Amino acid sequence: MSVTIEKLRERLAQIYDLQAVEELLGWDQQTQMPRDGAAGRAEATATIARIAHERFTSAETGELLAAAAGELENGDPSSDDAVIVRKTKADYRRATTVPDDLAAELARAASAGEDAWVAARAENDFQAFAPYLQHNIELAREYVDCVKTTGDYDSAYDALLDGYDRGMRTATVQALFSELRDALVPLIAELRDRSLPGTELLAAPFAVADQRRLVAQVLARMGFDAASWRIDDTIHPFETSFGLSDVRITTRYAEDYFPTALFGVMHEAGHGLYCAGVAPELARTPLADLDSLVLHESQSRLWENMVGRSRAFSEWLAPRAAALGGGALAGLDAGTLFRSVNKVTPSLIRIEADETTYALHIVLRFELEQELVEGRLAVADLPQVWAERMRSYLGVEVGSDADGVMQDVHWSSGLIGYFPTYALGTLVSGQLWQRLRAELPDLDAELARGELGGAREWLGENVYRLGSRYTSQELVARVCGGPIAVAPFVDYLKAKLTDVYGVAL
Amino acid sequence: MSVTIEKLRERLAQIYDLQAVEELLGWDQQTQMPRDGAAGRAEATATIARIAHERFTSAETGELLAAAAGELENGDPSSDDAVIVRKTKADYRRATTVPDDLAAELARAASAGEDAWVAARAENDFQAFAPYLQHNIELAREYVDCVKTTGDYDSAYDALLDGYDRGMRTATVQALFSELRDALVPLIAELRDRSLPGTELLAAPFAVADQRRLVAQVLARMGFDAASWRIDDTIHPFETSFGLSDVRITTRYAEDYFPTALFGVMHEAGHGLYCAGVAPELARTPLADLDSLVLHESQSRLWENMVGRSRAFSEWLAPRAAALGGGALAGLDAGTLFRSVNKVTPSLIRIEADETTYALHIVLRFELEQELVEGRLAVADLPQVWAERMRSYLGVEVGSDADGVMQDVHWSSGLIGYFPTYALGTLVSGQLWQRLRAELPDLDAELARGELGGAREWLGENVYRLGSRYTSQELVARVCGGPIAVAPFVDYLKAKLTDVYGVAL
């Protein structure tokens, strides 16, 4: 390795460390920190973020990147170093267009907006929240003005989207979401009023201590190893990791609905497997920074829904849930569990939505945030438009803004352009699942025995070990032989729902 | 506030944040981190330490300090800003004399030395450890060569000592320790073979869950508030804090000797009260960086020994320990508790030593580390000299190097000059205790009722709120009206032991 490459790698490794430290500060804040530590923590987090930004955007980083690019010009363009330099140059170009003052104001407004959101949501007071949202939208536009020359963007929203999934474009998302919506709306209409006898059983009490045992069994099957993983309780579940050998997930338990914790844990552990599965030689490089939220979400949803909520895995899961749950749950069988956790029930809250209706919550947010950024929708009109579109897409009535436009944290903290990655991840999970099933013909039998190693290894080989070497679109092309597509997910879903409801779809 | 002062304060606040983050990384590593996270954590910690050092020793910091000193020249020399600038200039001068390469090698050797020590101690293999110790001593000498011009040092050891307690000098310590040793040796000889009937009771089993309840009661009395404190289990107890409102202590429990946890917690909580009690306006300034290890240790030992092991507090503690311990402990009375936890029993291990013999363990280490640094003692001869001096000072026979020269982590990680602060802290605690008792005439009655607020408030006013504004010697002069002295501690100890043993001393 040349001295230049070595210096560049060391510099980027330090930036990786700073990002890991920032993650740890957040994890500690949400799981361990005494309440009054918040003010000091905010300062410490801001300091680390500022230093990471300063070091990344410094002239020295730019010079090392330019020198490294020159050295690698005639080498193998697919070498790790070549990929690292290309990817980092693009990130550097983008980051250096944002003045320090704007970066600081984005961070400050995110923090202030989130605080305001917590209070306004508790009071169901959209008026109190609106100015913060307005400010975040204005800042997003300012941000776009800075970065718009750093990519081939057709719109302001393109530039935002690119920050959450490199190379993703609004037109692509629009085409996919339009096809997805057209497939889901009639499916939901067909199924929403059908009853599924016996599914009310899952609301039976299940002691939290026993749910923890069930969760531990599932995690052990997924590959959770106490030497490099941990799980904690939080109000809002999440996954984070510091390097490849320190993966932390969190969850919350509902005494009267055990799937909340169980599938929540499978979701977060799906994120965790991706982080833990990056090739060790990529540690502390930008390729271990898993920056495609589409790929990240494809893993969480694949494990949560395609594995966790499958009929096959229900065969393994149901008797264990029955034994640990006891009481009314002692009679739980695989069929009932499978039907219950796949029931189609349009509802108000995204994070509680079933697999079928979930994507429509995302389509709605994708549309609204574009209209907000482009000035076609005023913040003041948002609650009304939200209610109308919820009625139109899901046929549900929004009772309060707290359960409507204020239900999610994202916009309050300036995350605009983030939402579509959830549904795009779902589509990618459908494509990967289709491919994985084709290559692992015994998969159902394995899942029914609780053997998850085959699926994990296939994903490790085809996705995890690569880190962020490929964009979501490149990875799908490589593994599935085409662009991101709707059909595999919809086909999978129809087949599952046919099984759940016993009707041809 | 001038622009210069504001800029300097912001820069120093960021360095404070980086140090707090480094502390958090350490706390997490010892209490939460999955085992395999160690390699990544070492890198992250090194990165934060490197950045903190770079920023502190940068030309920009130097220029801000010089400009600030100029602006403050004709102002009040006791203003916060004036104290901050004076103190930081001295620290800056010292830190900038150490080349980055040496700083990095000190950190690397500390880490490698500690690893080697863990392994060598487990195998009782001093030969395996000796080269690491030798290297640390050589590095300490190199370090001294760098910093020797930054203070009025008479010896290499002076320069080391100054790093753990500003202004402390070898000659001062020698005079104090000589007087202390001369007072303790005959006291120990007089008491070591006296029996104290009933004291074996404390070895009765005490369920850990119930010990936790007892600890929680004591902590609540000391001022532990879950909004800003937490307590965790670790193998090696410690205290750390991030700002003034996030204080974390750790402890370990011995099922068959509850004082281990109980007084260990009072010790660590004593450190914590000091951190939590710094005046809020000093937050994120160098005055909130409590860098006098003598003052820090004076607080831990005061709470552990002078409060915790007092006859008065035993009145409150004994019935609670009896009720929670149950079994044989149900009969525990205040007198038995008081006598048991103050019994004089010369032993091999410093951290298990009683209050009376403890200081002799320190005197021995102080002598040996001076001789090592000055080349008057060879590393190879250390085990033999250690054994001889343990026999001479404490009358105990060293059975193995693991329980002898390798019992402490300090030298393995390059902490040379640190040990004396433990016994100096003990002396200062004696002086503060004398003063506090004089000003709080009802103290014993309060302690017997478990009321610790009076002592805490006095210490808060006279010590904690000041942060690191004064050196240990300045603070003692200010509060107690004289230099650090031996007599108050020895007088206190004799009075206590007279009560314990029922003999005139």
B436 vs B444: CA distance, rounded Å? 11
Q: Closest to A37 (Cβ–Cβ): which among B14, B47, B228?
A: B228
The H-or-E segment that residue A121 falls in is helix A100-123
C-alpha dihedral (A232, A309, A259, A184), degrees to nearest 10? 110
Report the distance separating Cα A21 and Cα A243, nearest Å: 10
Query: Token digits for A221?
Result: 């099957």
B253: its two tokens: 């429990």
Cα–Cα distances in angstroms (integers) from residue A81 to residues A72, A381, B133, in the given order: 8, 49, 40
- B43/A13 touch (CB, cutoff 8 Å), yes or no: yes
DSSP code of A230? E
DSSP B298-319: HHHHIIIIIITTSHHHHHHHHH
Distances (CA, A) of B392 to B99, B344, B361, B371, B397: 42, 17, 12, 17, 10
For residues A236 and B190, the model is more confident at B190
Task: Name chain B contacts of A44, Cβ cutoff 8 Å.
Answer: 17, 20-21, 24, 242-243
The residue of chain A nearest to residue B35, with distances taken between CA atoms, is A227
* Residue from B16, B27, B41, B55 whose CB has the most chain A CBs within 10 Å, to mutate: B41
A42 touches B at CB < 8 Å? no
Catalytic (active site) residue B268: yes
From chain A, pick out residues whose CB is under 8 angstroms from the CB of B18.
47-48, 51
- Check residue A353 and give its pLDDT: 95
* pLDDT for res B39: 87
- Report strand pairing: A229-233 vs A247-251: parallel
- Which residues in A lie closer than 8 A to residue B227 (C-beta atoms)? 34-36
Instruction: Encode pLDDT of B61-112 as tens digits.
Output: 999 999 999 999 999 999 999 999 999 999 999 999 999 889 889 988 988 8
DSSP string for A74-92: TS-TTSHHHHHHHHHHHHH
Which pLDDT belongs to residue B139? 96
Question: Helix-strand-coil percent breakdown of chain B, rounded to 5?
Answer: 70, 5, 30
A228:B284 CB<8 A = no
- B440 shares contact with chain A (CB less than 8 Å): no
A47 vs B contacts (CB less than 8 Å): 13-14, 17-18, 21
Band of pLDDT at residue B368, cut at 50, 70 and 90: very high
Decide if B32 and A32 are in contact by the 8 Å CB cutoff.
yes
Chain B partners within 8 Å of A49 (Cβ) = none
Per residue in B207-258, pLDDT tens?
A: 999 999 999 999 999 999 999 999 999 988 999 999 899 999 999 999 999 9
pLDDT computed for residue A293 by the predictor:
98
Q: Which positions in chain B touch A50 (Cβ < 8 Å)?
A: 14
The tens digit of pLDDT for each residue in B412-452 reads 999 999 999 999 999 999 999 999 999 999 999 999 999 99
Point out the catalytic residue in the list A239, A268, A297, A369: A268
pLDDT at A395: 93
Q: Residue A124 has what pLDDT?
A: 97
**Is A13 near chain B, with CB under 8 Å?**
yes
As a whole number of angstroms, the distance between CA A137 and CA A275 comes to 31
Q: Decide if pLDDT at B11 tops 90.
A: yes
Most B CBs within 10 Å, among A12, A18, A21, A233, to test the B interface? A21
Contact A20 B40 (CB under 8 A): yes
The low-confidence residues of chain A, meaning pLDDT below 50, are none
Catalytic residue from among B23, B60, B138, B268: B268
pLDDT at site A115: 86
- pLDDT for A220: 98
- The residue of A9, A36, A241 whose CB has the most chain B CBs within 10 angstroms, and thus the best one to mutate to test that interface, is A36
Query: How high is the pLDDT of residue B100?
Result: 84
Q: Which of A24, A36, A229 sits opposite B227 (nearest CB)?
A: A36
Tell me the HSE value of A444 on the side-chain side, using a 13 A CA sphere: 6
